[in-house]
Amino acid sequence: MYSKYQTMFHRVPKWSLLVFAVVLPAVTGIIFDLPRVVLGTTFLFVAASFASNPIVDFFHRLKIIPNQVTLSGLLFSIASALLFAGGHVAEGGFACWLTGLLDLWDGLLARKHNLTTKFGGFLDSVLDRIADGFIFSGIAFHMFMTGSPVGGGLALYGLVTALVVSYSRAKAETQIRLCEVGFLGGRPERIFLLCYFGLIGHLQFGLGLICLFQTVTIIRRIVFTYRALSDEDADSVHRFEPVSKSRSETEGSSVEFARVEKAIQEE
């Protein structure tokens, strides 16, 4: 899911990314009067994001495998959920940020050091969904307990739509070749918004943006899939229709599984 951002960032001058990464936290800290420890920790996480390649090389030297990094991300998502639920929003945001970094590093470690496995991709996809569930549930609990039913409702809606964002692409790609349309509704965007608006104390506004982006992403994928299927002729629409029943069941299920697996991993 992060590979498309890596490709995009390679096309942008590194100095401009560095300036943005430094200026955004600094300006945010001044405007919202963030404590120094929060601002310092933010810069530390930004530095870790830019040092991803040396970090995964270090993991490799320690014989750490991608699945271990993936499991660590799940543990930090649980910690994030507990911190959010306990009212420690800034700390929950940092733990959520670390979850996102580990989600970035497991894939980078696998690709860079030729450690990619089908099970690893499957495990990453499943644990990402569980991690989202923990984080949004923790936020919802915090919102309801602090007398903010709107915020709690947004967190629950964000959880549901986060799952549907992934599922809509996976299901669409069992019928059409690709369904990569969206509108800032992927996991990297929601992690960033939760972290950023959690740190500046406007978590409910961040939840609103997440819900908006994910809803638009789902609608765009529904419309895109409808149009793609409408434009296909009868042969392409029924390309999984069997020559014989047993052959169809074998080939159709394997093709569908491969497409679903790929779509969920990249979401």
Angle 179-104-107 from CA coordinates, rounded to 5°: 75
Q: For 38-87, what is each residue's pLDDT tens digit?
A: 677 677 767 777 778 888 999 999 999 999 999 999 999 999 999 999 99
The rounded Cα 173 to chain-centroid distance in angstroms is 19
pTM listed for this prediction: 0.77
What is d(CA 34, CA 77) in angstroms, rounded to the nearest whole number? 23
Which of 1-5, 173-177, 262-266 shows the highest mean pLDDT? Answer: 173-177
User: Over pLDDT 90: what percentage of the chain?
Assistant: 36
Identify the band that residue 243 occupies on the pLDDT scale cut at 50, 70 and 90. Answer: very low
Give the residue with greater pLDDT, 265 vs 89. Answer: 89
Give the residue with greater pLDDT, 253 vs 104. Answer: 104
- Helix and strand numbers (H, E) in the chain are 12, 0
Identify the band that residue 265 occupies on the pLDDT scale cut at 50, 70 and 90. Answer: low
Q: Average the pLDDT over 189-195 and give the result.
A: 87
The catalytic residue positions are 128
Look up residue 205 and give its two tokens.
């506004």
Q: Considering the chain, what is the average pLDDT of its residues?
A: 80
What is d(CA 99, CA 80) in angstroms, rounded to the nearest whole number? 8
- How would DSSP label each residue in 205-265? HHHHHHHHHHHHHHHHHHHHHHHHHHHS-HHHHTTT--SSHHHHHHHHHHHHHHHHHHHHH
Q: For 136-180, what is each residue's pLDDT tens digit?
A: 999 999 999 999 999 999 999 999 999 999 888 888 888 878 888
